[in-house]
Homo-oligomer: A and B are copies of this chain.
Amino acid sequence: MPRTKSRQLIPVDGLAQLSFLIHGLLERRVAEHDLSMIQTRLLGVLRDRRPTMQELAQLLSLDKSSVTGLVDRAEGRGLVVRIPSEADRRVVRVGLTGVGRALASDVASQFEGDVAIVLGRLPRTDRAALAKVVSRLLVADADARGVDLFATLDETAP
C-alpha cells in the first residue's frame, strides 16, 4: 500500500537520473573543446588558486604522479603553467594561462546555459521550489560531513 507513496518521498531513481543528465550535459559540452572531465576539473580548480602539485593531488583526489601527467598535457596545450617556487626549490605551483582562463570561462558559461535550458522547461514555481530544496539538501549534506560548502564550489561546477 505505501509503495507509490514511499517512491515519491524517497526519489532515489529520479535523483540519480537527474544527476546523470546534468553530468552528461557537461561531458558533451567540454568534449567540444577537446577537454576530458578531469582536465575540466583541473581548469576549474585553478580558477581561484595556484596550488602546488601536492595540493593539486589532494584537490583532485589523484596520486601526485597522475597530476604530473595531467599538468604535462595541459601545459602542452598552453592551458596552464608550472611556476617554480622561490621559497622552496622543490616546490612547483600551477596556474592558468590566459588561454586556460578564457577556456574555463567559456566552458562554465556554456554549461550554465545548458543547465538553464533544461530548467527552463519547468514552470517558474517549480524552478523556485527546486532551488529551495536543492540548496537545503546541499547545506544539509555539507553540514553532515562537516565540510565548508563554498570550498568545493568550483570543483563541482567548473
Contact = CB atoms under 8 A, between A and B. Distances in A.
A153 interface: yes
B21 A141 contact: yes
SS class, residues of chain A in contact with chain B: helix
A26 B16 contact: yes
A62 interface: no
A138 B12 contact: no
B16 A115 contact: yes
A99 interface: no
Contact of A11 (B12, B21, B131): B131
A112 B157 CA distance: 24
Contacts of A9: 124, 127-128, 131
B127 A11 contact: yes
Interface residues of A, number: 48
Interface string A9-49: 11111111111111100100000000000000000000000
A14 B18 CA distance: 13
Given A16-B26, A16-B157, A26-B16, A118 B133 contact: no
B8 A131 contact: yes
Given A8-B132, A121-B143, 18 more contacts: A9-B124, A9-B127, A10-B116, A11-B130, A11-B134, A12-B112, A13-B153, A14-B134, A16-B22, A17-B138, A17-B157, A18-B18, A118-B137, A121-B141, A121-B144, A122-B133, A126-B137, A133-B133
